[in-house]
Structure 1
Amino acid sequence: MMKIVKSHLETIEGVATYPMISLLIFFVFFGLLLWWVLTTSKERIKEMKEMPLDDQQPKPFDQ
């Protein structure tokens, strides 16, 4: 079974770039997520943390 898959993958031109692209997307996503976590204000984190326990109506976005 693996011989069949390997032989088909070898026929695809540039197949080695797909794992590199997926690895790049992975690191970019988690890098941006880490940046967001480190730069978000403590008040915003506290507000989001308390959202499930809040019985009030949701606040409208500032316009």
Structure 2
Amino acid sequence: MLKFIKGNLEQIDGVEIYPIISLLIFFIFFVVLFWWVFTATKEHIKEVSNIPFESNENNEKV
């Protein structure tokens, strides 16, 4: 099955740039995510972690 895909992709000019772009997007996304996690304040993390425990009158089941 891979032979068919590889054969078709070899005929496209400039196709080798797409894996590089996808790797860069993946890498940049996780670098930004790690930066956000390490720079987030403890107060923000505590506030966000308590959201599921807050009661909301519209969503409570009786």
- TM bucket, shorter chain: 0.7 to 0.9
Q: Please state if 1:5 is matched with 2:5.
A: yes
TM-score by length of 1: 0.80
Structure 2 CA distance for aligned equivalents of residues 35 and 3 of structure 1:
40
Q: Please state if 1:54 is matched with 2:44.
A: no
TM-score by length of 2: 0.81
Structure 2, unpaired ranges of 5+? 58-62
Match of 1:43 in 2: 43
Task: Give the paired residue count.
Answer: 57
**4+ long deviations beyond 6 Å:** none
Q: What value does the CA root-mean-square deviation take over the aligned residues?
A: 1.5
Please list the CA deviations of residues 5-60 of structure 1 after superposition, one character each: whole Å capped at 9, or x if unmatched. Answer: 22211110111111110000000000000000011100000000000001158xxx
Structure 2 CA distance for aligned equivalents of residues 7 and 56 of structure 1:
57
Provide the identity percentage.
53
